[in-house]
Structure 1
Amino acid sequence: MSPKIKGAGKTASKSKPKNSSRNSKLNSKKRPFNVTRAFLAVFVLVMLAWLAALMMIKEEPQAKKANLAQNNNTQKIHELLESKKKKSSVLDEQNSSQKISQKISKDNKIANIYEEISDEKLKEFSKKLQEQKEEFIAKTVIEQNISEQNASKEQSTFEKTAEQAPNYSYSANSHSKRKSHKAPNGGPKLAIIMDDISTNAHVRELKKLSIKVTPSIFPPEKEHPKTAELAKEFSVYMVHLPLQALNYTNEKANTLHTGDSKEKISQRIKDIKKDFKGVK
């Protein structure tokens, strides 16, 4: 048997690093306490605290002064506003009192003027008014008398003319040819035309008259399609030609307008002559 070797079968111990001895030496040495540095640090902190305190002490009175100045300014502004309001109210009161006094003075002046007018002046004024009234009445009476005299002269002249005029009767039923009578003293003749004839009732009423009246008959239209038949009742008649009006909304059919051409107007008249063959 081989002899046992001491320490055989045990794991070998780990080898220590080379720098471990140096690090242990450095750690074993303690750094000495530096009093000077500590003192300087404390001194600096104290000085900073002292400076901060001084700054706070200086800032407080300045802030107080600023606040006081601001308060003073606002108070002054309020005082100025109040004084202005008081002045404006005083001025308004003065103006109103001045206006009232002016009105009172005017009223007093008017009252004095009325008091100055005596009863004699009023009588004189009423006398003048009465004279003017009488003068106006006299002028009116004179003008009325003159107009009455002129009217009576015209009436007498008309009566004389009527006496000299030929006496004849006329019926619308007979349109026979007659000799034309000249008006006395070469005066004008009178022609009467009855417009807008469109019904049998119109024709009957027209024939009842005892004087010569020329009818003007409407052309045939939607409401009165047989107006051309009415024309046969008369030997002399006219035809009403519907024309454009200034203010009229119910226009008849085929009404002529100011903007129509000459050709359109001529054609319309030709069509009317076809319906009314005896039209003059």
Structure 2
Amino acid sequence: MKKEQKPELLATAPSLLWLVLFVLVPVVTIFAIAFRPALPAGGIGEGWSLDAVRALGDPSYPALFVRTILISALATLGCLALGLPAAYAMARLSPAWRSRMLLLVIVPFWTNFVIRVFAWQQILHAQGYVASFLRSLHIIGENDRLLGNTGAVVIVSTYTYLPFAILPLFAAAEKFDFGLLDAARDLGAKPLRAFFSVFVPGIRQGIITAFLVVFIPMLGSYVVPDMVGGTGTQMIGNKIAQRNFTDRNLPEAAALSGALALLVLAPMFLRRKEKTA
């Protein structure tokens, strides 16, 4: 090892150690548990077995994976749709007001996650003010419910993950040259067209980051579907929690977790393969 490489190695060693201990080791452990047998009373047995992996062939799992991807995608698109205008507006403010608005974005993190979801449970309750108001406008019927459906899960998930989308979008928008928008309008572009043709491509990296920061955690979400959803809105995270805490079938829970990890990593590997091709 060259002498000039030592400072670089020392600088990267803490990050590398963190990734090995808290990412690589847990992932390897999960995949290892997936190939162990499950004890009848719960727990992990001795030896090796493919029973947990074979269990992934359950006919209900493909629909579960599709539902998870669909709900995650809808919530992510909702966060981007709300986050883009918010980041644009924040970036056009004066530095003092930017700090104040950024503080308002971060404020929800000061409240416990479960408490915030529980608050939405009360807001969307069948006897709540929102449901009563919608019934008074005849938008929903007397027997219609705002909870226990995909819409409730998407709405609450969008609210929950919206700050995670706004922060990288704002970071990219803050560096954007807004003179380009003025130039586009001088050339005859309408404000909306200038926004989508100039501003959105100009913060492309921020949009990609916001998408990943929201979509990947959403794939493993289970608290929101459990509290505001129903039996028809279960996601992979709910099934993993059920196998782990209720059934005590740790190998099958690990197999589902491994399948979820591969689902998350697949697009990354495909993109890398396209670049090297």
Normalising by structure 2, report the TM-score: 0.19
Greater relative contact order (Cα 8 A, min sep 6): structure 1 or 2? Answer: 2
* Larger helix share, 1 or 2: 2
Which has the larger Rg? 1
